[in-house]
């Protein structure tokens, strides 16, 4: 293969990779690093991404005492996560068996008025009862605004998410996320009857 053909193939491959596995408001390039602080307990972690296949990413969150990993799947519609294994909670456990929709949508969605929905099917056990249920999340991009966090001041799209579901009891909650162009999530605040997480960006760069 001539050198220019090889270079063109690599370049086109990188374009395809970027358009499927990374978006303007959720970049996933391997040389980027994000540092966040959880607002509840002040734990700090560093986030990074590694390409693991033609259509997959591994996200790593490194805390001082542990590393958490998440496998993402890249599709033309956006990024998807289907968590593996059992999730334990007092009195029982559950697992995610199916995902409909995407967690992070394609670039065209990222504008005020953008909307997307995803839904997880759940199975598990509480006490001696086998249960099935679902968790559905509706996301809306409601405005563009300026937000200040520890990492600085950003122009961001504010995404408001509403959770609803059923797993023996009703599941409900809401979350607000701020996504900055070229950076990703700069802050998130969530609350629900099955847990929540709030964090802010404290550093970002290559």
Which residues lie across from 155 on neighbouring strands? 146
Contact 144, 165 (CB under 8 A): no
Q: In the prediction, which pLDDT does 19 show?
A: 55
Q: In the prediction, which pLDDT does 168 show?
A: 86
Per-residue pLDDT tens over the stretch 161-204: 999 999 988 899 999 999 999 999 999 999 887 667 899 999 99
Q: Could you tell me the mean pLDDT of each successive run of 10 residues in the chain, 206 residues long?
A: 34 42 94 96 96 94 96 96 85 92 96 98 91 97 98 98 92 96 97 82 97
59-95: string of b/e by CB count within 10 Å (b at 16+)? beebeeeeeeeeebbbeeebbbbeeeeeeeeeebebb
């Amino acid at each position: 293969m001539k050198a220019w053909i090889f270079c063109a193939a690599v370049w086109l491959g990188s374009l395809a990779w970027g358009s499927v596995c990374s978006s303007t408001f959720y970049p996933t390039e391997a040389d980027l690093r994000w540092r966040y602080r959880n607002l509840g307990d002040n734990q700090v972690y560093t986030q990074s991404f590694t390409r693991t296949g033609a259509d997959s990413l591994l996200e790593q969150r490194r805390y001082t005492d542990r590393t958490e990993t998440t496998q993402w799947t890249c599709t033309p519609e956006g990024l998807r996560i289907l968590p593996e294994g059992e999730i334990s909670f007092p009195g029982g456990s559950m697992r995610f068996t199916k995902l409909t929709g995407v967690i992070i949508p394609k670039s065209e969605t990222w504008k005020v008025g953008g909307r997307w929905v995803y839904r997880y099917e759940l199975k598990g056990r509480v006490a001696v009862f086998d249960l099935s249920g679902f968790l559905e999340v509706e996301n809306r991009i409601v405005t563009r605004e300026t937000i200040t966090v520890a990492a600085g001041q950003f122009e961001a799209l504010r995404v408001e998410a509403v959770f609803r579901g059923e797993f023996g009891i009703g599941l409900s909650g809401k979350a607000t996320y701020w996504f900055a162009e070229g950076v990703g999530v700069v802050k998130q605040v969530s609350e629900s009857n099955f847990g929540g997480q709030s964090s802010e960006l404290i550093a970002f760069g290559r």
